[in-house]
Structure 1
Amino acid sequence: MASLETSVTYSSRFNKTIITVLICHFIASFSVLGMPLFLPKVMNGMLAENQQMLIGWFYVLPTVCTALATPWWGRFADKYGKRLSLIRAQLGLALGFIIAGTASEIWQFSIGLIIQGFCGGTFAASNAYLSSQVGKNKLASTLNLTQFSARLSLLTAPVILGLFMGLEAPLKIYCYLALLPLIAAVVITRLPKKEQAHKPNKNSKTIVTATSSLSFNQILLIKFLFSFSTVVSFPYFLPYMQSLQVSNESLIGFYFSLPHLIYLIVVMLNPNWQTRMSAQQLCRYGLAILGISAGLQFQAEVGSWMVFWRLLMGLGICLTFIGLHQSVSALKTSASGLMFGRFDSASKWAGVVAGFCAGIIVQQFTHHTPFLLSMISALLALTIVLFPRFQSQLKDTEHAE
């Protein structure tokens, strides 16, 4: 009886920890993912007419800084504590928002975005902390939930922040948003500091455990190509849909958000089906579906079938994410902070490269062409999953024991 009471108490605290981290991650990513959409309005008056092209550079500036900084902060987390690193990430966001919100010159606003990027990184910090609190058999599903909170903020933040754009000076909204990571930092101080020891539950049903034949460097390369495939079509999705004779902006917004909605719905379903497939199978199916959906969108001439192509894209994204999370959770390493720092950094670099490539290729060809790049990138990632031994010379020196 005492053992049962201890188990219930541990389970309750464990669930509370996960929920708290997810809420804190949501309110942080709400600000980070919501404001970039309104950069043209925020920077109105800061830039001259011939400097409007710089908005694109400011759009990717925090992402570049995060990509550079997350591996370093990962080492910091492994050395000084993952909870401390998570608090640091929330405070870094708050500082960056305050500087950006009080800026009167473009260089001051730039410093705010740079600090947001270099000192933020709440996604990697949240994953690293959760990895110290959950067992390996639950880590993959927990990573799916942090991705869930990011997708949820990506859907809700632009809508909610858009309502406030007409009520307050856009730049000042950064100051109000700084309160969110500050509150999150205070809440996180109440979470467990020490890593938890996890024992398998003898009463739980046997499930297929996550196994991976992929090395960490292979997982990073797949994550880069996968992220590139999903992001490269984002910047010019509006004119792409307009070229398909879809002029209603709310309908275009619905099409844009549909893959994210599918991820939210699928992850909320009973997760038992995920255990019936290996990480490689999930990645194979996901990347294949993603490549097919990108090819279908590339050849589309009208928007009548777009809802089906976007649903297909969402399913591909969801399966690939789940497969990647199973793969990375199966890796044995004592440096989980560095591991998740590099894992997040791969997607950030992919987003930067995808943005630049999309701009260049659209100028040379059409607004359909980014989907061709998306298909090629997904198929390249699929090749690595199908034939991992051809990349076996890649060394995982960072994770050698």
Structure 2
Amino acid sequence: MAQWKLNLAVLWIGLFLVMGGMTMIIPFLPLYLQELGLHNKEEITFWAGIIFAGNFVTSFLFQPLWGKLSDKYGRKVMLLRSGFGMAIVMTLMGFAMNAWHLLFLRLINGTISGFNPAAVSLMAASTPKEHRGFVMGTLQSGAVAGTILGPFIGGVVANAVGYRPIFYITGACIFAASLLAMLIVKEEFSREEAKEHVPISVFQGWQELKQIPQLPALFAVTVLLQFSMQNSMPLVPLFVQELHSNPADVAFYAGLVGSMPGMSNMIASPLLGKVSDKLGAEKVLTLSLVGAAVFFIPQAFIGTVWQLMLARFLLGICMGGMLPSINALIGKFTPKGMDSRAYSFNSSAMSLGNMAGPVVGGLLAGFMGIRGIFLISAVLLLLNVLWVWSTLVRGRKVNRSSPS
């Protein structure tokens, strides 16, 4: 087996375990806060929100720094740094004594995170150009599969063994993923060649990358994309409750609706990745954005849970062509030697969209309801289509070359 294929298999497993481990805590986080001594509902809601967001805040701030070090010392080193570091921090969360401890550890976890962008950067650098779209899509499917199954597994295990052991299990999963990568993944990286490049700061790196117009355009697409997808996510269970008359199984249907985009995304990502290798990632990204906007619109007018499930499933198919295409395009336009830095800036853009989406969506839902949020998402995605068309499809081609 070619080394890039072996790397892909191992990193798919790694992303599945990391994302599954990271999302295992989602179903019981408010309940764990009760165990830590919080009992007021408003207080629990407040702490659950800031603890969940804390990870994204520090991740947004520190990803460019890790990208700089990755270009200097290698992607695999950063992959292992993030993996083993998160394994330790997640395990320590099981020993938290109050909400402040948990918030502090979530902030640290975001600070040292970066397994996903390091894996993407490593595969982009080691994969033959003609297979890059397929590889980006396959990696995305591993992350999505872990994200889908993580909450389900977390809920089942928490019900069987309690809350604290979940953090130990999560830490073990991430440790296993990192150990597997350390033993099997190989990277062609020359530190001597990297030293030939003049060291530049994070700010200087951004100044250099933004000279390539396609890269800021792609980062902007990522922010708008994540914002559009996340602004309605926390409100979907309440919408299911509105559509479904039987309160006894609302939780079941809410979970089913929530898993629909992930299931179709997992299936579609590798397939659309292959299509992008033939047609071009710009075209696949444009068509995926149009499709996602179209499938958001009926969600504002549906009347049953089953209609919502169908619309969310079709939405997930379109989502499967977005992030893999963005990652493939970043690899296409980034100068040699700055790949990791570019992917880290994109990871920060993703964190920014993930932070802002739920907050703004929650505020707007108070004025227009969740149905209005679906329409706003559709409009934002259509604006994204115009942005992609003007900056990428019609933009000038930029060849990969060494940075000046």
Q: Please, what TM-score do these two structures have when normalized by structure 1?
A: 0.85
Distance 1:79 1:273, change over 3 A: closer
AA of the residue aligned to 1:84? V
Q: Secondary structure at the match of 1:192?
A: coil
Q: CA deviation at 1:79?
A: 1.0
Report the Cα distance in structure 1 between the residues aligned to 2:145 and 2:6, rounded to whole angstroms: 20
Distance 1:391 1:243, change over 3 A: farther
Q: CA deviation at 1:392?
A: 7.4
1:348 is matched with 351
Query: Which of 5, 15, 37 matches 1:25?
Result: 15
Query: Which of 183, 186, 189 matches 1:195?
Result: 189
**Does residue 108 of structure 1 match 2:101?**
yes
Report the Cα distance in structure 2 between the residues aligned to 1:302 and 1:169, rounded to whole angstroms: 35
Q: CA deviation at 1:137?
A: 2.6
1:254 is matched with 256
Distance 1:251 1:284, change over 3 A: same
- Are 2:54 and 2:110, in contact at CA under 8 Å, matched by a contact in 1? yes
Distance 1:354 1:138, change over 3 A: same
2:311 is matched with 309
Query: Which of 372, 377, 381 matches 1:374?
Result: 377
Q: CA deviation at 1:268?
A: 4.7
Distance 1:128 1:314, change over 3 A: same
Distance 1:194 1:345, change over 3 A: same
Report the Cα distance in structure 1 between the residues aligned to 2:312 and 2:283, rounded to whole angstroms: 22
1:318 is matched with 320
1:232 is matched with 231
Report the Cα distance in structure 1 between the residues aligned to 2:56 and 2:355, rounded to whole angstroms: 7
Query: Which of 34, 40, 60 matches 2:30?
Result: 40
Specify which structure has the higher proportion of helix.
2
1:201 is matched with none
Task: Identify the range of structure 1 (298-307 vs 352-361) with the bigger mean alpha-carbon deviation.
Answer: 298-307
- Are 2:16 and 2:142, in contact at CA under 8 Å, matched by a contact in 1? yes
Q: Deviations over 1:23-52 (max 9, x none)?
A: 122111111122123211121133241412
- Are 1:132 and 1:195, in contact at CA under 8 Å, matched by a contact in 2? no
1:207 is matched with none
Stretches of structure 1 lacking an aligned partner (at least 5 in a row): 1-10, 197-212
AA of the residue aligned to 1:377? L
Q: Secondary structure at the match of 2:34?
A: coil
Q: Deviations over 1:64-99 (max 9, x none)?
A: 211211111111111111111000010121121122
2:221 is matched with 222
Query: Which of 113, 123, 132 matches 2:116?
Result: 123
Q: CA deviation at 1:100?
A: 1.1
Q: Deviations over 1:339-397 (max 9, x none)?
A: 1111122111101000111221122331323212211221121110222289979x9xx
Report the Cα distance in structure 1 between the residues aligned to 2:147 and 2:284, rounded to whole angstroms: 24
Report the Cα distance in structure 1 between the residues aligned to 2:227 and 2:306, rounded to whole angstroms: 26
Report the Cα distance in structure 1 between the residues aligned to 2:272 and 2:382, rounded to whole angstroms: 29
Stretches of structure 2 lacking an aligned partner (at least 5 in a row): 191-211
Q: How do residues 2-401 of structure 1 correspond to structure 2 at under 5 angstroms?
A: 11-46=1-36, 47-49=38-40, 50-52=42-44, 53-190=46-183, 191-195=185-189, 215-245=214-244, 247=246, 248=249, 249-269=251-271, 272-333=274-335, 334-388=337-391, 400-401=403-404
Report the Cα distance in structure 2 between the residues aligned to 1:282 and 1:98, rounded to whole angstroms: 40
- Are 1:224 and 1:350, in contact at CA under 8 Å, matched by a contact in 2? yes
Q: Secondary structure at the match of 2:96?
A: coil
State the aligned residue count. Answer: 371
Distance 1:303 1:88, change over 3 A: same
Report the Cα distance in structure 2 between the residues aligned to 1:278 and 1:86, rounded to whole angstroms: 29
Q: Deviations over 1:95-115 (max 9, x none)?
A: 211221111122221221111
Report the Cα distance in structure 2 between the residues aligned to 1:350 and 1:187, rounded to whole angstroms: 31
Q: Secondary structure at the match of 2:227?
A: helix
Distance 1:246 1:12, change over 3 A: farther
Q: Please, what TM-score do these two structures have when normalized by structure 2?
A: 0.85
Distance 1:81 1:303, change over 3 A: same
Distance 1:105 1:376, change over 3 A: same
Q: What fraction of aligned residue pairs are identical, expressed as a percent? A: 17
Distance 1:86 1:390, change over 3 A: closer
Q: Secondary structure at the match of 1:264?
A: helix
- Are 2:79 and 2:115, in contact at CA under 8 Å, matched by a contact in 1? yes
Q: CA deviation at 1:272?
A: 4.6
- Are 1:285 and 1:320, in contact at CA under 8 Å, matched by a contact in 2? no
AA of the residue aligned to 1:345? S
Report the Cα distance in structure 1 between the residues aligned to 2:108 and 2:270, rounded to whole angstroms: 34
Q: CA deviation at 1:183?
A: 2.2
Report the Cα distance in structure 2 between the residues aligned to 1:151 and 1:57, rounded to whole angstroms: 24
